[in-house]
A and B are shown apart, each in its own frame.
Chain A
């Protein structure tokens, strides 16, 4: 691994500026010559794609906030005004609305890529933590954003989810009232959700910076999961991965644009086009698709506090994952058993997602309970045990070795 020697900048102003604030050198080091494993596949594009969608979300959000009115009497109408009277308001709003779904899709794929290729293992535990914190902040932001249009799903989603806090022993009731700023979800709640919905993305940006810092400290994992051993294993980030990520971005935008322009309400619920009515609950309360697995786990436990704890644990368990997985091998490519358990886990999560959308009745409850037990067993039983039972396939010598031997 060669050490970085900053180039001498030819442009006088650039040189003058860079001596005082070495931002050009930083960009050069981290985005141009940054050494990346030569074998990253397209699953490694999803992190930067998610970052770009974060920027799109912030941009559209800032402009929407210029017209949105966070008041129970005006919120719904102000969104409709954006849709009808504000120039390109419909575009900003649909891009923001569908952007949330796209953001979660990319992030989930990014997360499962990490699970498959063991990207959470030493020395990248802190990098992984930053990612889990980003996911947590995203969940909070998305939940509060969904409340803002003040439709029926907004209101009742907010009611149901804030009521989770009442499960806290002794102070639960006070805590919920504190959260609401009233006796129900009402104007103060809407106001603070708007304020926080604007704040949290800034924290996400900060966490993304830390995520990248940690990444560039220990460098990317790769599909083989082995450490890079020499200059032959690396290629510079630019132009190789810039162009690869740009191509991925083109494909992503095609997908994203299709939904914005031709199926803008595909991920939404019809009920949210009915203004919030605190006196009538819609017959089926369903969260957005990206919350469904967690929502299912919430309903797995017949006890209020237990359900909330189970749901929180489903995310929190990711923090200790690097120590629950006892296998020394990172990539599932060389783990004949883990490979199958990984796909079983993917199926379990999708199944939980499906169950989360079903009514809270039998046979769904029993199914949810099995799926939830499996979810936790994957982390608490299967992963620790696999490290003992599984006999990994032999690892290649180096990243460039299998290539040269095949050729």
Chain B
């Protein structure tokens, strides 16, 4: 077939009409399908109303020394513990180097009496015990995960058992002396 004469000029370059049409259509079509996929994928991301509830405000004033409360933040439990002097001492005197996930106590709290951690075991996602009076707190007076026996100390650090990491500290800030905003 006499293809040679069937050229078109693009930016001064001779291109066979056939190639121009085929590659042009294919490129456009592929790009279109890819772009169309995005709304479908993005629709599965958290919706605006879900995101709007991404922060939780906690009033600390009713929590007595030695007490813990659990609040819900982004659907997860957050442990807020008002630590006693003894608990703070225990957390501070621990040799950081000996820890599996070495972190000093003051890197994990903003104000010494208040320990705020996400209450999800870093092993496989169970919720450790130790919030309510009478529940086992493990060998280090912090929390104890009943699923596979991880022990956390009074700074929420992993001390014993299979969990690889310390309990996560969520992003939070003190709005005033007795109120924190998590998230």
Contacts and interface: CB of A to CB of B under 8 A. Distances in A.
Do A and B share a direct contact in the complex (Cβ within 8 angstroms)? Answer: yes
B98 interface: no
A325 B167 CA distance: 78
B48 A92 contact: no
A92 B49 contact: no
Contacts of B29: 246
Contacts, number: 37
Contacts of A85: 47-50
Given A87-B39, A92-B39, A66 B47 contact: no
A228 B169 CA distance: 75
B61 interface: no
Q: Name the residue in B38, B42, B43, B48 with the highest tally of chain A Cβ atoms < 10 Å from its Cβ.
A: B43
A246 B29 CA distance: 10
Interface string A65-88: 011000000000000010011111
Interface string B79-102: 000000000000000000000000
Interface in B39-60: 39-40, 42-45, 47-50
Contact of A88 (B25, B43, B49, B50): B43
A84 to B, nearest CB: 7
Contact of B48 (A66, A67, A84): A84
A84 B48 CA distance: 8
Contacts of A66: 43-44
A79 to B, nearest CB: 13
B39 A91 contact: yes
Contacts of B47: 67, 81, 85-87, 89
B43 A87 contact: yes
Contacts of B38: 88
A85 B25 CA distance: 35
A283 to B, nearest CB: 35
A92 B37 CA distance: 11
Contacts of B50: 85
Interface string A48-73: 00000000000100010011000000
Given A87-B39, A88-B39, A92-B39, A81 B49 contact: yes
Contacts of A59: 40
A89 B44 CA distance: 10
Interface in A138-187: none
B45 to A, nearest CB: 6
A91 B29 CA distance: 20
Contacts of B48: 84-87
Contacts of B39: 87-88, 91-92
Given A87-B48, A88-B39, A89-B47, 15 more contacts: A59-B40, A63-B40, A63-B43, A67-B43, A67-B47, A81-B49, A84-B48, A85-B47, A85-B49, A87-B39, A87-B47, A88-B38, A88-B42, A92-B40, A246-B29
**9 closest Cβ contacts across the A-B interface?**
A88-B39, A85-B48, A85-B47, A87-B42, A85-B49, A86-B47, A87-B43, A88-B43, A91-B39
Interface of B: 25, 29, 38-40, 42-45, 47-50
28 contacts: A59-B40, A63-B44, A66-B43, A66-B44, A67-B47, A81-B47, A81-B49, A84-B48, A85-B47, A85-B49, A85-B50, A86-B43, A86-B47, A86-B48, A87-B39, A87-B42, A87-B43, A87-B45, A87-B47, A88-B42, A88-B43, A89-B43, A89-B47, A91-B39, A92-B39, A92-B40, A92-B43, A246-B25
